Each structure stands twice: as structure tokens, then as C-alpha cells.
Amino acid sequence: MSRGARAGTVIAVVLLAANLRPAVVAVSPMLTDIRAETGLSGPAAALLTTIPVLCFGLLAPFAPLLARRIGLVPALVAVLCAMTAGGLLRLPEPVVLLFAGTAVFGAAIAAGNVLLPVLVKREFPDRAGTMMGVYSVSLSTGAAIAAGTAVPLLLLFGHAWRSALAIWALPPVIALLAWLPLLRNRSATAPAAIEAPRTPLRRAPLAWAVTGFMGLQSLVYYATVAWLPEILIASGSGQERAGYALSVFNLVGIAGSLIFTLTVGRTRNQAGYALASAVLYAVGFGGLLTGNLDFLWAALLGLAQGITISLALALILLRMPDAGHAARMSGMAQAIGYLLAAAGPVLVGAVHDATGGWSWPLLLLGALLVPMAAAGAVAGRDVTLEVPTTIGVRS
């Protein structure tokens, strides 16, 4: 690959990765307006952030099938087209279209979650670790931009939340401009499949530890994203300040991802990252119970989530001996892990409605940190799971 082509691919990866979270994150700062106009209950409103996570789990196994049928680059171009369609579906008035557009967005993100790392491994085999760091930072950056601009956009559109949500149909169009050259220049030949005997990952305790950590850290993250603005508003913060706090949460997540990326190469055992991030989460949730220093607690929570998502992605690679094993591990971790994570926003919303406050939901999230840290400690050990597999997609 020429230097220019490689630079174009890096830009394309960054732009697509930055589009994999805004459609989910932008909803939570607007939940107060959405519920006021539509009359949705807490659990029903939480579905707007839970549906995409369900899609991540349910549809992740089908993404490689799409890539094998039409090719990897065309599949990722289709992801961006689906994102645009999902964003526009949320503009009309019927509430059912709000949920339908969210589901389309979720399906697109699910495919992007699985296929974009495959492209990174194929195009940057010598710098896959560095590019996965770029990938993680781009995820956090896109989420931070969405969180920070959600309320200003809402105010700009005069609290017309449908228009403020539909605006997120535009960034995928911009990303498409970077992907079309890759579509034109893609190779016509397919890489050979990796053939090897199969051993079920679901019989391996280490694989379940990786999956458990992926699922629990995702559950805590999506529950926090869904309800952090509401928690802060209930404690006295204004709607705009709560949106900015969510932006701080995601911005500091970038720092967490960078810290992990810069230091993980010096360690053979990653259990310490899991334990440290659980402590940071616990302090942040405990701080939210006091109702003061909202930006500080949001920053601590953000630092924790930046470390945990980077660790979850890295464990899939570090515990597997090659890309073939990692592909199967990724499918298992994302499918089962995200289905577990989907319960987070709805569960927290239901506990809030049942108790009339946020103390019990925060204590629940704090309790979930114990199994999360335990799974991370097991998965973080310096061991490699040698489970052969078979993978392969067209270009």
C-alpha cells in the first residue's frame, strides 16, 4: 500500500470509528424532552439507548456473513449508508419511527463494531496495536462530541429534539467521502481462509472471563451514558450543565484510552487495569450520591470507562494467539457481552422508577463492579488460549 493510500485508509477508519457511538450517546441528554413530549416511561425511554446495544449482541455474528457475501469494504460502506437512513428515520413525528431509526442505527453500528477491526488487522498488520489505539480514541472522541453538542443543538432547534437527533445522519455522509476511494481501489482478490481444527470457546473458562468483562463493563458504561444527565439534573444541575458533564465523561475517556494504549505494552498481566478502573468507577458513583462536584465525578467515571473499553478490546487480542482465534473470541464477547450490557439502562431505569430516586440505581451499579473486576482479573492473567478456528472475508 502506498503512503497516500495508507493515509486515506487511516482517515477512513478514524471517521467511521467516530460514528460508532454518537447516535447512542446523543439521546440521553435529550431524554427529559423526549419523555415530556411522548409520555414514555423510564424503562421505555431507556430502550432508546438499549436497542442499539441489543443489536450489537444479536447482529454481531451476522456481520462476517455480510462481508463474505459483498466484501469487507462494501460492507463498511453499507454501514455508513444505513447510519444515514437510521438518522433520517428519527425525524418524522410517529414515535414508532424513533424506535425504528434507532434500530437501524444499532444494526449498522453492530456491523461496524465487528468489521472495522478486521479491516485494521488486514490493512495494518504491522501496526495493528497502534491502530486499535487510534480506533479506541476515535470511539471516545465521537461520543464526547455527541454528548457535548446534544443540548446546544437541542436549544438551537428550539427543543425540537427530533431535528437535534436527525442531525446525526450527516456525519456518516462525510465519512462516506473518505470510504468511496477505498471502494474504487479495493483488491479484487480475497485473502485465503485460515483453516484449523475447531474447539468450542464456550468450554474455556478464560473465554468466559473475557466475555464477562466485556459484557459487564459495557453494561456499566451504557447505563451511565443513558442516565448520567438525569442523575445530575435530579441533584440540581441544569440540563445544559448535565450535558456538558456527559461530554466530560466521554472526553476524559479519551485520556483513559490513551493511558492504557501507551502503557499496556509494558505489562504482561493486565489484571491491575481491571482493578484500578473498578476503584475509579466506585469513587465516581459514590461521589454522585453526594450531589456535588458533578464534573469531578464525571471525569473519574470517564477515566474508568476509557480504561475498561480499551482493556476489553485488548484482552480479545492478548489472550488469543492469532487473528483467527481473536475473530471467534470477538464474536463471542460482543454477541454475549452486549446482550448482557443491554439490560443495564432498562434495569437502572426500572430501579429508579420503583424507588423514586437514584441512590439504589447507583448502589446497584457499584455492586456490579465486583464481578466486573473479578472477570477482568481472571482474563488479565498472562496466559494464551490456544483454540484453533477458521476465518476469512473478501476485500
* Full residue range of the structural domain in which residue 66 is found: 3-184+201-379
Buried b (16+ CB within 10 A) or exposed e, 40-53: bebbebbbbbbbbb
The cell numbers describing 197, all together, are: 481444527
Span 280-333, pLDDT tens digits:
999 999 999 887 788 999 999 999 999 998 888 888 777 877 656 766 787 788
- 245 found inside a domain: yes
The SS3 call for residue 368 is: helix
| Residue 195 counted as domain residue | no
**Residue 66 within a domain:** yes
Summarize pLDDT for 355-393 with one digit per residue, the tens.
989 999 999 999 999 999 999 999 999 888 765 444 444
Question: CA–CA separation, 317 vs 384, rounded Å?
Answer: 10
- Count of domains for the chain: 1
Q: Where are the alpha helices (DSSP H) in 291-358?
A: 294-318, 323-341, 343-355
pLDDT 10s digits, 344-357: 888 998 999 999 89
- Distance from chain centroid for Cα 241: 23
CB-based burial, 348-383: b 16+ in 10 Å, e otherwise: bbbbbeeeeebeebbebbbebbeebbbbbbbbbeee
pLDDT digits (tens, 9 = 90+) for 1-29: 677 778 888 999 999 999 998 877 788 77
Cβ atoms of 92 and 29 within 8 Å: the answer is no
pLDDT in tens, 220-258: 998 998 889 889 888 887 877 887 888 789 889 889 988
How far is the CA of 239 from the CAs of 73, 221, 299, 339, in angstroms?
40, 20, 18, 30
Give the burial string for 163-199 (b: 16+ CB within 10 Å, else e): ebbbbbbebbeebbebbeebeeeeeeeeeeeeeeeee
Let me know if residue 190 belongs to a domain.
no
Residue 189 located in a structural domain: no
The crossing angle, in degrees rounded to 10, of helices 128-156 and 294-318 is 150
For residue 16, being part of any structural domain is answered with yes
Q: Specify the 3-state DSSP secondary structure of 194.
A: strand
Q: Confirm whether 84 is domain-assigned.
A: yes
d(CA 245, CA 241): 6
First to last CA, the chain: 14
pLDDT of 194 above 70: no
CATH code, domain with 59: 1.20.1250.20
The answer to whether residue 394 sits within a structural domain is: no
pTM (2 d.p.): 0.76
